[in-house]
Amino acid sequence: MPHEPTPHDPRRSLAGARLSRRAAVAAGAGGLASLLASEMTGFAQTNDASPVAASTGNSFPPETQLALEAIVRDSLAGTDTPGALVGVWFPGRGEWVRAAGIGDLTTAAPVGIDDHVRIASITKTFTATAVLLLVEDGKLRLDDKLDQFVSGIPNGDQITLRQVLGMTAGIANYVTAPVIAVDYVRDPLLPFTPQQALDLIRTLPPAYPPGAQARYSDSNYILLGFVIERVTGQPAAEVIIDRVVRPLGLTETTFPTTPDMPSPYLHGYLGAHPGDPLRDVTRSNPDVAWTAGAMISTVADLRVWAKALAEGTLLSPAMQRERLTLNRFASPNLDVGYGLGVLSVNGLIGHNGGIFGYSSWMAHAPEEDATLVVITNRAATEGGTADPIFYGIARLLFPDRFPPLAATPQAAPTRATPTA
């Protein structure tokens, strides 16, 4: 992972995966339906010779559409990325959804607007929401100590659940261990279980004292999966689906238990640097990232989830205020903060992610009620390949909040690792 400018750096996390320079690790970072069917009405994909499959709706002005298309086209070319899925919904200004480029390099099949993708560290937003719902049920408290639920973690008798959720617990990141950074990179189908991740986390020395700073670690969200299971007596995946996914009608969002992808799906590719040969890593072991980055979704579902996450649809107003209490992260060009399983970048609320084959962003601007979703199908060493598209569109639509085009902001708080 090149650097960690924000809480969840897609280049270093298990759920927001990119390849790390040292280990060439693909990382994962920071959800989007009868409802979805109606929301996507009018966004008809075309299959003509154009490299960009278009969708129509309440359109942006032509000059904005041209600028958006140029951002996607130039970003894909600049990162040697085969394809992208992009959705922009900005009330009063326009809507724009695109499936661009190639979704399968073997068959040359184009990217499809309904393609399923691995959302990497965006999974953390679902896991955190499930935990916060258990807090509201009275089954947990944010100030409970971690070792009440998971034993053997260094400083576990001092670390609170709030710190685990907010990336201030000081727990070292298990994805830097050779079994992930080397073995998993070599074989994405490597047998590995959440229990093995827990056993590994127990052996790692603390990165810093609890509460001393904020630093992204996928280990936090593996531990939260075990907290969910301890409190409910159910598999964490079932709790997340029952408490978060189903109530919002996210019919295309799943928590996989096998390496397979639901159809239709976007193939994911791995390449350490632009110009390197791309390896198809679509199929990978979801248990490596588990509750830190295993989930699968679509652009349409992520649109719904990004708005619900930012607005606190499933939580009480008081709990949403807790969630949006941010720990600030150093970044030269961005105002970045991490709350309880949520990322804020210059006022946009959401998360990013990176994992074998996929780079992703989802964000919602509450004041404008605007939503942006970006997914690409290539993992890379130098940050997420979704980053230039996300930041390019953010600069275009929110020029007062984001640096000028001459500046290149660091990736937002999502860590990328081989699985999350």
Output the domain CATH number for residue 312: 3.40.710.10
pLDDT for residue 366:
96
Is 261 within a domain?
Answer: yes
Is 366 within a domain?
Answer: yes
* Domain limits for position 291: 34-123+235-397
Instruction: Show the tokens assigned to 352.
Output: 């990013």
- Give the number of domains in the chain: 1
Q: How confident is the model at residue 5 (pLDDT cuts 50, 70, 90)?
A: very low
Is 306 within a domain?
Answer: yes
pLDDT for residue 127:
98
Classify residue 143 by its DSSP letter: T
3-state secondary structure of 348: strand
**How close are the terminal C-alpha atoms of the chain, in Å?**
13
Is 206 within a domain?
Answer: no
Is 132 within a domain?
Answer: no
Instruction: Show the tokens assigned to 255.
Output: 């928590």
Measured in residues, the chain has a length of 420
User: Chain-wide mean pLDDT for the chain?
Assistant: 85
Residue 50: pLDDT over 50: no
Is 404 within a domain?
Answer: no
Q: How confident is the model at residue 379 (pLDDT cuts 50, 70, 90)?
A: confident
Residue 310: pLDDT over 90: yes
Instruction: Give the strands of the sheet with 269-270, arranged side by side.
Output: 279-280, 269-270, 378-379
Is 207 within a domain?
Answer: no
Q: How confident is the model at residue 57 (pLDDT cuts 50, 70, 90)?
A: low
CB burial readout 184-217, b (16+ within 10 A) else e: bbeebebebebeebbebbeebebbeebbeebbbb
Q: Average the pLDDT over each of 6-15, 111-120, 347-356 and give the range with the smallest value.
A: 6-15
Question: Average pLDDT of 281-292?
Answer: 97
pLDDT for residue 380:
64
Secondary structure percentages of the chain, helix, strand, coil, to 5: 30, 20, 50
pLDDT for residue 367:
95
Nearest by Cα to 364 from 310, 321, 413, 401: 310
3-state secondary structure of 185: helix
- Rounded to 5 degrees, what are φ and ψ at 297? -155, -170
Is 198 within a domain?
Answer: no
Q: What Rg, from alpha-carbon coordinates, does the chain have?
A: 19
Query: Can you tell me the distance from the alpha carbon of 8 to that of 226, in angstroms, rounded to the nearest whole number?
Result: 21
pLDDT for residue 249:
98
Query: Can you tell me the distance from the alpha carbon of 156 to that of 176, in angstroms, rounded to the nearest whole number?
Result: 20
pLDDT for residue 273:
75
Q: How confident is the model at residue 145 (pLDDT cuts 50, 70, 90)?
A: very high
Q: How confident is the model at residue 275 (pLDDT cuts 50, 70, 90)?
A: confident
